[in-house]
Amino acid sequence: MSKPKVFIDGQEGTTGLQIYDRLARRDDIELLGIDPDKRKDVTERKKRMDEADLVFFCLPDAAAREAADLCDNGRTRIIDASTAHRTAPGWVYGFPELHGQRIAVAQAMRVANPGCHATGFLASAAPLVKVHVLLPDYPLTCFSLTGYSGGGKKMIAQYEGEEKAAELFSPRLYGTALQHKHLPEMTAVAGLDRPPVFCPVVDDYYKGMSTTIMLHNRYLKGQPTAEELCLILSAYYAGEEVVTVAPFHEKGDTLAANAFAGTDKLELTVSGDHDRTVITARFDNLGKGASGAAVQNMNLMLGFEETAGLRLS
């Protein structure tokens, strides 16, 4: 049996390079290359797409929309790592652990890979909405700390340059206009009536992410305690290998945002008491937050073991 052919359109960016490095080590697929001088040539790109069984789009949003129109043969399956199609009709949201999405991803022709901040937010919020504990009109707030690699090549160069600006040595809040590009998927996939108040923070370390939501338990259905919320999430993710829930964080010790850097795992930690709850998702922004999730989705779409090539320890 011939190996599935895979093409990465835009492999020069951070996510594209990560996907390429992962797939280049596998012997169960055939990676289709493209002459570097022709990587923006429409005819050459379409030729590779038409040859491929699956193509990754690692492109800016506008280019990803153009590429989707270009890939029109009705046979090649697509995983789009951009923001362009995450709430678009006809595209499946690529978070297999949520709401039975695993089957939908496996059968899909077009899959939108989740955003990194959205992944952390949805891992906590979406299950609680699904089981009717967190009501859709709850006024959620969220903050998310990320390593600078999430900003791509330009931001990496700023942080790793010889003349590093003084402000880059400290955490920096951004997206303070409250229009972050991940908000539409965070709202729609979680099933919320309105977007959360969301503040991302970038800090002086390469990779790793910590995304946190905070809850007043008396406004939740049934008024569960923090420990009960931990049990609810543990039951929701029972049997999952990539997304797991830590034992209840009773002592509330320090949580390091880069604890899962270099892996494709996401771990939820629930802290709090009878009145208030903090739920934190920790993962690698380049792993489950980007290329690891893309490879997981590819595995499902091509019929491989879901965790093939993933780093779970």
pLDDT in tens, the chain (313 residues): 689 999 999 988 899 999 999 999 999 999 999 988 888 889 999 999 999 999 999 999 999 999 999 999 999 999 999 999 999 999 999 999 998 899 999 999 999 999 999 999 999 999 999 999 999 999 999 999 999 998 989 999 999 998 899 999 999 999 999 999 999 999 999 999 999 999 999 999 999 999 999 999 999 999 999 999 999 999 999 999 999 999 999 888 899 999 999 999 999 999 999 999 999 999 999 999 999 999 999 999 999 999 999 999 8
d(CA 121, CA 198): 10
Looking at residue 43, its pLDDT comes to 93
Q: Which two tokens stand for residue 142?
A: 């969220």
DSSP SS3 for 108: coil
Taking CA 208 as the corner, what is the angle to CA 205 and CA 214, rounded to the nearest 5 degrees?
115
| Cα-based torsion angle of the residue sequence 98, 52, 57, 308 in order, rounded to the nearest 10 degrees | 40
Q: Which amino acid is at 285?
A: N
Is 230 among the residues known to form the active site? Answer: no
Given the residues 58, 71, 116, 142, the one annotated as active site: 116
Looking at residue 1, its pLDDT comes to 65
